[in-house]
Structure 1
């Protein structure tokens, strides 16, 4: 997202897709992986996702929330591929390929005890409101 304008100049027909996670999950993951403090992880999440929201407001594109529930991720990807009007066979193949990186045991980075500031929660809720949602 931080370099999207450059990509759009080079590839005018580019159709971006925004993917986001819960800020506490990202901060916890960064703490476990890199030793980054939770406050710094939330600040990084906020910076990146504020830019994601700004770009989405300027030129809307699909947003997907990457959740812990593999079924909901699969449903969101199916909606995305349908919205992008990809052929059925390619769509299923694309979903299967995309979910090869989804391993539920890797998704243990949520820290429900992490208190998030109102602006962070507001940003997260706005992204969720704009995201593709399976019914």
Structure 2
């Protein structure tokens, strides 16, 4: 166990992070995986996907980098987070306006950008940056 006298980066993080929020977040992650386990087989069968746990596998696949980003972000100082959010907000705002010009039209709306083999919805990155900036103001 880590003592308060220990001054490593990991121990400093452990004593400053909101452990109740972290535990609640991991509980929600586990509940989400369990619900995907319950819902994935019938949906995969209806869509004709051979693997009944296709959606569970995708959930876990995307969950791994999401947890890594969450833990990395929790090590940053509030000042650094504000600076990063300003940059993310401005870049996403430009990308959001770019969707009106170069985004593909799907069902009468332009919401996505094709960046190589992936499609990105800039508004999804804009939302958390906006929340942090609004809380800062």
Q: TM-score range by the shorter chain?
A: under 0.3
Q: Which has the higher contact order (CA 8 A, sep 6+)?
A: 1
**TM-score, normalized by length of structure 2?**
0.27
Q: Who wins on radius of gyration, i.e. which is larger?
A: 2
Q: TM-score, normalised by structure 1?
A: 0.27
